[in-house]
Structure 1
Amino acid sequence: MSSSDRGLDLARPSGSGLTRLVRGGLAALALGVLAAGCTVQPIYMPIASGPNVAADLSAIQVEDVSDRVGQEVRNNLIFGFTGGGNPAPPRYELTMRVTSADARLGFERDETAPAYSVTVTVAYQLKEIATGKVILRSINRGVASYDRSNQAFANQRAQIDAQNRAAQSVADDIQLRLAAALATGKSS
C-alpha cells in the first residue's frame, strides 16, 4: 500500500461491528425519546383531560353585521361552528369588522381591466362572555379573482361570486384560528 492510500481506505470500516451497532442503538433510543414528547391528534377530537373544541366552537355567538359580504362571512362561520345543527348556549362572543375591496389585476390595450380581485378583510375578537377575557384578536384576509366582460349583469354576478368565495376562504381561516386558540387555551 502506498503512502497516498493510507488516508483513504474505503474497503475497511472505521469501527468494529459492535461499535456501529451500539452507535445505531443509541441514535434510535435518542429519536424514540424525542418522539415520545410529541403528540399529534385531531384538533376537534374530544379528550377527557382537555377542552372539547367542537363544543366550544358551537358555543360561539357571532355578532350581527350590516353588509352582504359580512353576512356571508357570518353565515359561513356559524355553519362551520355548528355543522348546521343547533348552537350550544353562548359562552363566547365573536365580534368582527368586515371590509371588501376590489382591485384591477391588469389592463388591455383599450385601458379596460378584464381581471379583478376581491379582498375580504376581517378584523375580529373572540371574548369569553362570563369573564370578558379576550381569547383571540386578529385579522384575516381572503382573496378571490374574477373576469369582467362587456355585460353588466355578468360582471355583477362574477363580482358577487368572487366575494362569496373570498368570504368562505376567510371564514375557514378564522374557524381554524379560533379552534386552535380554544384547544390550547392561550389568549392573545
Structure 2
Amino acid sequence: MSSDNLFKLARAAGVASMIGVAGLLSSCQVRPLYAENTGVTQKLADVSFSDAGTRVGQVVRNQLIFIAGRGAGEAKTPKYTVDLSVSSGTGGVIYLPSSDTSGAGRTTVTASFTLKNAGDGKVLKSGNRSVTSLVDFPTQEFAKARAIRDSEDRAAREVAELVGADIAAALSR
C-alpha cells in the first residue's frame, strides 16, 4: 500500500470516528440538576423538614430550608416531607503524652433522612449522609468548646448540602 492510500484511509477513519463521537454526544442526557426546565426548583420549594432535636440538627435543618426554598423560607403548603434525624460526635485523634490530652480531633455529623409524598405518605427516597470535620483543640477550655462548635457547624452545613442534593435528585425523576 502506498503512503498516499494510507493517508486517505487514516483520514477516512478519523472522519468516521468524529461522526461516531458526535452521534454519541448528541444522545447524552446530562443536564444541570437545578435547571429551570426540570421543575426541581419548584418541587424543592414544596418540601417541609421535620423539627430538630439538637443544636447541630437545627443547623442542618436551617441549611436545608435555605437550600430548598432558595432563601425564601419554609413551604406554606408542602407537597413533600422530610423526616430528618441528625447525630454528631467529636473525638480526639492526636494524643499528647505529656498532658494526656488531645491536640486535634474530628467531628462527625450524620444525617438520616426519608423523603415522602405529603399526600399519600409514599417514600420517595431515604438515605444517610455523613461528613467529618477536623478540629484543633486549643489549651483554653472556652476556645476548645468554640472550636468544637465551629467544627460541628462546618460539618452540619456540608451534610445538609449532600442531603439537599440527594433530595433534588430524587425529585428530578
Identity %: 30
The CA distance in 2 between the partners of 1:147 and 1:79, in whole Å, is 29
The CA distance in 1 between the partners of 2:15 and 2:110, in whole Å, is 53
Q: Which residue of 2 aligns with 1:81?
A: 68
Q: Which residue of 2 aligns with 1:176?
A: 165
The CA distance in 1 between the partners of 2:54 and 2:87, in whole Å, is 9
User: Per the alignment, do residues 143 and 29 of structure 1 end up closer, same or farther by CA in structure 2, a change over 3 Å counting?
Assistant: same
| Structure 2, unpaired ranges of 5+ | none
Instruction: Give the structure with the larger strand fraction.
Output: 2
Indicate yes or no: 2:18 matched with 1:31: no
Output the amino acid matched with 2:32: P
Instruction: Give the alignment partner of residue 118 of structure 1, picking from 98, 107, 115.
Output: 107
Moved over 4 A (4+): none
User: Per the alignment, do residues 146 and 17 of structure 1 end up closer, same or farther by CA in structure 2, a change over 3 Å counting?
Assistant: closer
Instruction: Give the SS at the match of 2:105.
Output: strand
Instruction: Give the SS at the match of 1:113.
Output: strand
* Stretch deviating more after TM superposition (82-91 or 136-145): 82-91
Instruction: Give the alignment partner of residue 97 of structure 1, picking from 85, 91, 112.
Output: 85
Q: Which residue of 2 aligns with 1:130?
A: 119
Output the amino acid matched with 2:159: V
- CA shift, 1:37, in A, is 0.8
User: Per the alignment, do residues 109 and 13 of structure 1 end up closer, same or farther by CA in structure 2, a change over 3 Å counting?
Assistant: farther
- Output the TM-score relative to the length of structure 2: 0.91
Instruction: Give the alignment partner of residue 151 of structure 1, picking from 140, 154, 173.
Output: 140
Instruction: Give the structure with the larger helix fraction.
Output: 2
User: Per the alignment, do residues 149 and 86 of structure 1 end up closer, same or farther by CA in structure 2, a change over 3 Å counting?
Assistant: closer
- Structure showing greater radius of gyration is 1
- CA shift, 1:23, in A, is 1.5
Output the amino acid matched with 1:102: T
Q: CA RMSD in A?
A: 1.6
Output the amino acid matched with 2:50: E
Instruction: Give the alignment partner of residue 67 of structure 1, picking from 54, 58, 65.
Output: 54
- Output the TM-score relative to the length of structure 1: 0.84
User: Per the alignment, do residues 117 and 86 of structure 1 end up closer, same or farther by CA in structure 2, a change over 3 Å counting?
Assistant: closer
Is the 8 Å Cα contact of residues 66 and 73 (structure 2) preserved in structure 1? Answer: no
Aligned length: 170
Q: Which residue of 1 aligns with 2:32?
A: 42
